Amino acid sequence: MSTDIPHRELTHRVAGFVADAITPIAAAMARGHGPSPKRIVESAGEAGLAGLLTPEAFGGAGGNHGDFIQFIETVARADASSAVILDVHLSVGTEPLLVFGNDDQKSRYLRRLASGEWLAAFALTEAAGGSDAVALRTRAAREGETYVLDGAKAFITGAGDADLYIVMARTGDGAHGVSAFLVEAAWPGVSTGPPLAKMGLHGSWTGELVLDGVRVPAANRLGDEGFGFTVAMSALDSGRVGISAQAVGIAQGALDAAVEPSRRRRDAGSEVDADAIADMEARTAAARQLTRYAAALVDAGRRVTHDAAIAKLYSTDTCVAVAQSAVDLCAPESGAEDHPAAVRFRDAKACQIYEGTNQIQRVVIARHLLRD
Ligand code: COS
């Protein structure tokens, strides 16, 4: 996929956005007292970044996935909560509409998402099914030109603040009995639970989405009936590249937090664990290259299931390991809740879990090798 935005201009725009809009709120976000997810996306819209992957014809910046991962890594280096909000909005929240939406759907929704006026969310997971996405139970019963949706989605990023949900619901049996729908938050029967109190990523809202007899026009079905599992899986293939970029940013932020205190200790005549710092740098650099490779495959129009799983697995394991090393190197100060290494350590763990746990990534990678 080509890019409409010159790379140098994007780098400048992203750096300005992070310096002006993210770094000043990072500490508040880490405590869960920052601006709402919608406000983060609005401020990205003001900087021309809320529609980074959306073509200019629909009000976006027309960037590619190389631009996207640079954006997400740079934001995550400063604040992982803001990064996951923006990542979900841009990738699994908007990309399925870009890839599978018809002209009518694109013209009704893309401009509002690309300007940051609306926040997008992706609703696949259910409490009972967990990683077994095919087991979803939310039903979509067809009544003429309408589908009636009933069910509940769990652990949804942006729930409670999002304006548009991409909802996977059952219209038949098995993987080919799932359909995807564009569901507006304001429609009767749509409600959300309170944000979960999470271990980390305190500035990002995660919660339940309840669909109680929600009447969705057939015009809001995304792709053909029965095509929803493919919509979801291909959204996650690309989304996992974004999570990989987020993990690289968290690892880099943890490394940043550890280097300066280590330098001060060395200058004061104490020993520093230079091997640990070298390993942190090497692993972060390797994770960044895997992420870039996967993003380049997406931009080349190649199926990225295998390489996105590798990037996501390696980068997110790396960010947990690097953040843990940062806590060790910065001890005892890093025992404080607000210490930047402690914040990264808490934020890192979720990356191994969402958009497919790392156990699922291993399933995807091994299946590719062991297939007949
Ligand atoms: N792209 C396109 N199609 C895909 C796909 C992909 N990445 N992965 C699977 N499919 C298709 C398969 O080709 C299959 O279609 P056919 O029957 O026509 O061959 C269908 O979808 C079912 O796939 P599969 O048989 O592999 O389903 P499984 O139930 O065995 O498991 C996994 C699929 C484990 C990969 C899936 O359930 C998964 O990714 N789970 C994790 C979900 C997740 O990431 N949740 C987080 C949500 S966001 S926080």
Task: Please give the distance, rounded to the nearest whole angstrom, from the Cα atom of residue 182 to the centre of ligand 1.
Answer: 20
Q: Is the CB of 131 under 6 A from ligand 1?
A: yes
Indicate whether 4 pLDDT > 80: no
Which H helix or E strand runs over 280? helix 274-299
**In this predicted structure, what is the pLDDT of residue 129?**
85
The DSSP bridge partners found for residue 206 are: 157
Pocket test for ligand 1, best of 95, 99, 168, 230 (most atoms within 8 A of CB): 230
**In this predicted structure, what is the pLDDT of residue 3?**
63
Between helix 305-329 and helix 358-370 the angle, nearest 10°, is 140
Ligand 1 atom closest to 135 (CA): 29
Q: Is the CB of 230 under 6 A from ligand 1?
A: yes
Residue 149 placed within a domain: yes
Count other Cβ atoms within 10 Å, centred on residue 63: 27
- Identify each DSSP E strand in 233-316 by its residue range: none
Q: Is the CB of 100 under 6 A from ligand 1?
A: no
Tell me: do 83 and 58 sit in the same domain. Answer: yes
CA-based max dimension of the chain = 77
pTM to 2 decimals?
Answer: 0.96
Name the residue at shortest CA distance from atom 7 of ligand 1. 233
Q: What angle is formed at CA 154 by the lines to CA 152 and CA 155, rounded to 5 degrees?
A: 155
Name the residue at shortest CA distance from atom 22 of ligand 1. 175
Q: Helix or strand or coil: residue 164?
A: strand
Pocket test for ligand 1, best of 155, 233, 240, 313 (most atoms within 8 A of CB): 233
| Choice between 132 and 94, residue whose per-residue pLDDT is larger | 94
User: Tens of pLDDT along 314-369?
Assistant: 999 999 999 999 999 999 999 999 999 999 999 999 999 999 999 999 999 999 99
Q: Is the CB of 175 under 6 A from ligand 1?
A: yes
**In this predicted structure, what is the pLDDT of residue 112?**
98
CATH for 276 = 1.20.140.10
Name the residue at shortest CA distance from atom 43 of ligand 1. 356
**In this predicted structure, what is the pLDDT of residue 237?**
96
Tell me: do 243 and 315 sit in the same domain. Answer: yes
Tell me: do 26 and 48 sit in the same domain. Answer: yes
What is the C-alpha separation between 263 and 278, in angstroms, rounded? Answer: 13
Tell me: do 220 and 239 sit in the same domain. Answer: no
Residue 64 placed within a domain: yes
Show the domain range for 325: 229-370
Tell me: do 139 and 205 sit in the same domain. Answer: yes
Tell me: do 261 and 283 sit in the same domain. Answer: yes
Name the residue at shortest CA distance from atom 39 of ligand 1. 356
Tell me: do 220 and 233 sit in the same domain. Answer: no
Residue 215 placed within a domain: yes
Tell me: do 348 and 239 sit in the same domain. Answer: yes
Q: Helix or strand or coil: residue 273?
A: coil
What is the C-alpha separation between 170 and 205, in angstroms, rounded? Answer: 26
Task: Please give the distance, rounded to the nearest whole angstrom, from the Cα atom of residue 316 to the centre of ligand 1.
Answer: 21
Tell me: do 104 and 146 sit in the same domain. Answer: no
User: Tens of pLDDT along 149-200?
Assistant: 999 999 999 999 999 999 999 999 999 999 999 999 999 999 999 999 999 9
Query: Which candidate, 131, 150, 167, 296, places its Cα nearest to that of 215?
Result: 150
355 is catalytic: yes
Tell me: do 130 and 211 sit in the same domain. Answer: yes
Residue 68 placed within a domain: yes
Among 192, 227, 262, the domain boundary falls at: 227
With bands split at pLDDT 50, 70 and 90, how would you rate the model's confidence at 371? confident
Residue 264 placed within a domain: yes
**In this predicted structure, what is the pLDDT of residue 7?**
77
The DSSP bridge partners found for residue 147 are: 142, 216
Look over the chain and give the mean of its residue pLDDT values, rounded to a whole number.
96
Task: Please give the distance, rounded to the nearest whole angstrom, from the Cα atom of residue 184 to the centre of ligand 1.
Answer: 26
**Residues 17-44: what's their mean pLDDT?**
98
CATH for 170 = 2.40.110.10
Ligand 1 atom closest to 240 (CA): 44
* Percentage with pLDDT > 90 across the chain: 94
Residue 1 placed within a domain: no
Tell me: do 275 and 171 sit in the same domain. Answer: no
Quote the DSSP letter at residue 196. P
Q: Helix or strand or coil: residue 207?
A: strand
Task: Please give the distance, rounded to the nearest whole angstrom, from the Cα atom of residue 64 to the centre of ligand 1.
Answer: 25
Pocket test for ligand 1, best of 125, 134, 157, 361 (most atoms within 8 A of CB): 134
Indicate whether 244 pLDDT > 70: yes
Indicate whether 1 pLDDT > 70: no
The DSSP bridge partners found for residue 77 are: none
Among 164, 199, 227, the domain boundary falls at: 227
CATH for 57 = 1.10.540.10
**In this predicted structure, what is the pLDDT of residue 130?**
83
Tell me: do 243 and 331 sit in the same domain. Answer: yes
Q: How many domains does the chain have?
A: 3
Question: Per residue, what are the HEC states of 328-368?
Answer: HHCCCHHHCCCCHHHHHHHHHHHHCCCCCCHHHHHHHHHHH
| Choice between 271 and 240, residue whose per-residue pLDDT is larger | 240
Q: Which residues contact 100 (CB under 8 A, 6 or more apart)?
A: 180, 222, 223, 227, 231
Residue 90 placed within a domain: yes
Residue 316 placed within a domain: yes
**Residues 253-281: what's their mean pLDDT?**
94
Among 227, 254, 270, the domain boundary falls at: 227
With bands split at pLDDT 50, 70 and 90, how would you rate the model's confidence at 372? confident
